[in-house]
Amino acid sequence: MMKHFVINRRMMNVGILLVVEVIASIALPFYIADLRFNSNFLLGSSNISSSNSSSAFVPPRIFEASAQIISQNNIDISLRQLFERTQQSVVQISSVNDAPLFNESSPFRSVTLGSGFVYDREGSIVTNYHVIAGARDPENIDVTFSDGAAYRAKIIGTDQYSDLAVLQIEDQAARQKMMPLPIGNSSQLYVGDQVVAIGNPFGLTGTMTLGIISGLNRLLPVQSNQDAPGSSEFSFSTPNIIQTDTAINPGNSGGPLLDMQGVVVGITTAVFSLTGEFAGVGFAIPSNTISKIVPVLIEEGSFEHPWLGVSGINVTPNIANSIGLQEARGFLVVNVVEGGPAEISGIQGGDRLTRGDIILAVDNMAVRKIDDLLSYLEASTEVGKTITLTILRHGEIRQLNTTLGARPNLQASA
């Protein structure tokens, strides 16, 4: 039995990364690209990870090229060379879920299959949070390399807001053969750049797909309860997401999105689809987010995102006309969280369009819509930093200094 996480909204509440939610009236069926099997099915095939690995391809050749050599090579390589250089760094991740498969008395548990990649030589493996979120035993996650060798790993850090998690392999023999993939600069990506994804769609290990960067700076809703298939509650959104037409299917989650030099520019995480399978619109967490969050997860186990504590909507032409704006730009604050950073600094919301503050800029950077505010706050700020918001209130431009707080946990905010 295969299950999908189906995210299907009549009203999608897209939250500011640092706020509670932003209201948008659009239905987007997102599918988180992990793969779930009946555990009995896995037992029936003895070891799906090992059997797939041995039958799908010959164990990889060992290449001497290190991550540093790959990252310093500015010349695109062939697809064959790219796969040969990186396949041993991409792994399959499987975990038995805590929830019973059929009912509370059922002895069977579903198994989630996803992907991941080697981050460093200290045993760190990066994957998606939703791949391991429901793991029954966080210290016993199976990680299988492309040569079929499987090792136990434990979860050492998670961040549900960015959908990132870090596993650690203790086995010294495994660490000796681990080749980290170099992490690139996703701000250097352009629409039309060629990329490849390597992962384990539908459990088919070592699969490579080719595509291009289809869009940049997308917003991806964060599921408030990733452990519950079909849950459709959202409180926040992740900004700066990469859109790609590279084929991404269930099982690809957590695998690397690579440029044509074998450098990680993202981590595949979800697809937009009416069926749950590839429809030409996939999404990846950008590598700059990985570079910012993963080192903290390794050291501290969690990551604190800065938090503003407001909700509202983008200014539309109708709103602009009603309050006398010459153009539709800015973010209209509807609600302010009690005791949050925005309320403390004096930001005002309102149940009428003429009452709420309109955020026009942050630290002198124009805010035309919520995406601009989200991207700036996530990429350029941190908890405790004071920012300057330029707002429009009752026809008057004001500037308010706001000290960002730490975002509350997702379950509490939902």
Q: How far apart are the first and last CA of the chain?
A: 30
Exposed, middle or buried by CB within 10 Å (0-12, 13-18, 19+), for 167? buried
Number of Cβ within 10 Å of residue 171's Cβ equals 14
Catalytic residue among 163, 259, 357, 371: 163
Whether 163 sits among the annotated catalytic residues: the reply is yes
CA distance 2 to 35: 7
Task: Give residues with Cβ within 8 angstroms of 172, minimum separation 6.
Answer: none
Whether 253 sits among the annotated catalytic residues: the reply is yes
Whether 130 sits among the annotated catalytic residues: the reply is yes
Catalytic residue among 253, 273, 287, 311: 253
Catalytic residue among 130, 159, 273, 372: 130
Are 359 and 330 contacting, i.e. CB atoms less than 8 angstroms apart?
Answer: yes
CA distance 404 to 402: 6
The letter for the amino acid at 242 is: I
* CA-to-CA dists, residue 102 to 38, 110, 226, 237, 255, angstroms: 10, 9, 19, 32, 29
Are 240 and 286 contacting, i.e. CB atoms less than 8 angstroms apart?
Answer: yes
CA dihedral 304, 91, 234, 349 (to 10 degrees): 30
DSSP state of 183: B
* CA-to-CA dists, residue 42 to 50, 113, 134, 154, 364, angstroms: 11, 11, 17, 21, 56
Which residues are known catalytic residues?
130, 163, 253
